[in-house]
Copies of this chain bind each other. A is one copy, B any other.
Amino acid sequence: MTIVNEQGLTEKEFLEQYDSSKYPKPSLTADVLLFTIDSIKNTNYKKNDKKVLKLLLIKRKNHPFIQHWAIPGGFVDIDEPIDMAALRELKEETNVEDVYLEQLYTFGQVNRDPRMRVVSTAYMALVDREKLNPRAGDDAQEVDWFAIEREVVVPEKMMEYDDFIEKTQTVKLKLLNDAIDYEISCTLFISEKLLGRNIKRTVEIIDQECLAADHGKIIDYAMNRLKNKLEYTQIAFNLVPEYFTLSELQQVYQVISGKEEKPAGFRRKIKDMVIETDHMQNSKGHRPAKLFTYNKYWHLK
């Protein structure tokens, strides 16, 4: 290419004189929200296990946010794709690998980190609890699963102003760890404004205990995405073993959406997404359930 720019430079000359360090740059990190569904054994032998949504967090062992719990993640190397950085950091900090990542959102507020400007691209992954064994790595003292509970503190309120409508709500995210009997919490003020023909959702952290940076916001964002994608994709099948009963699958849906489903309706809804097998789940004190598998041809519709 022999085109020259306004300074009379060819592309080659331009690239040789270009100095990318002229301006200060934000740092870029990649974070991974690893979700799973865990089973809580029921004492009554007849009843099925209870399912809970859990998130993997690490306890930071360095400043900033030392001894706070955080979403695993870290800096993106200069010659490394963002998703690779996410996987690498996840492996380094929690020993988890071979998961499928989906990019969520890039958080770029100016004061997210006290050290410097840090922009963070968040990814989400869903895994079957049985398949992996997280273990603390370099930058983390501890790694553990936390059950997520979302409690509405101030119920939804709608206000109408001259030029917009606003719906607000205050929510408390609780992250519970039974094993070490520990609770992390984060209170969020959520506002949905209708400006013109667009809904702008903003989330502010009002109060926070032992959770790093703006990770409460990120968790909230991820849970919303999870809930939405549940309805029109096959993501739920990531949270269930190869063979599963329809009741298990139904519970996964219920735990994530927060809505109860009727067995008959649920079965109808997901009938095209699953394939019946000959295997059975026995020894449960009640009628055994057929095991199903994901129908991999479903998404071709």
A positions within 8 Å CB-CB of B = 1, 3, 5-6, 9, 11, 14-15, 18, 20, 23-28, 61-64, 66-67, 75-83, 100, 102-103, 105-106, 108-110, 114-117, 119, 121, 158, 165, 167, 194-200, 233-235, 237-238, 294, 296-297, 299-300
Cβ 8 A contact of A25, one of B14, B28, B235? B28
Cα separation A79 to B75 with both chains bound (whole Å) = 19
Instruction: Verify A14–B63 contact, CB threshold 8 A.
Output: yes
> Known contacts being A5-B62, A5-B66, A196-B100, is A78 close to B15, with CB within 8 Å?
no
Q: State A117–B76 Cα separation when bound (angstroms).
A: 11
Contact B79 A117 (CB under 8 A): yes
Nearest-neighbour CB distance to chain B for A94, whole angstroms, equals 19
Q: Nearest chain B CB to A125's CB is how many angstroms away?
A: 9
Q: Is the interface of A mostly helix, strand, loop or mixed?
A: loop
Q: What are 28 A-B contacts with C-beta separation under 8 Å?
A: A1-B66, A3-B67, A5-B61, A5-B62, A5-B66, A6-B61, A11-B64, A11-B66, A11-B114, A14-B63, A14-B64, A20-B27, A26-B78, A78-B117, A81-B109, A83-B108, A106-B106, A108-B121, A158-B300, A165-B297, A165-B300, A167-B300, A197-B234, A197-B235, A197-B237, A197-B294, A198-B238, A199-B234
Please tell me how many copies of the chain the complex holds: 2
> What is the bound-complex CA distance between A211 and B298, given in angstroms?
36
Known A-B contacts A27-B25, A75-B23, A106-B121; A195 and B100 likewise in contact (beta carbons under 8 Å): yes
Q: Does A63 contact B15, Cβ atoms closer than 8 Å?
A: yes
Closest to A167 in B: B300
Closest CB of chain B to A80's CB: distance in Å?
Answer: 7
A-B residue pairs, 3 tightest by C-beta: A82-B108, A14-B63, A197-B237
Chain B residues with CB under 8 Å of A9's CB are 63
Known: A15-B63, A62-B5. A199 touches B121 (CB 8 A): no
In the complex, the chain B residue whose C-beta lies closest to that of A27 is B25
Determine whether the beta carbon of A198 is less than 8 Å from that of B100. yes
Q: A199: which B residues are within 8 A, CB to CB?
A: 233-234, 299
A24: B residues at CB distance < 8 A: 78
Contact B63 A11 (CB under 8 A): yes
Question: In the bound complex, do residue A200 and residue B100 qualify as a contact, i.e. CB atoms below 8 Å apart?
Answer: yes
Complex CA distance for A300 and B199, rounded to whole angstroms: 11
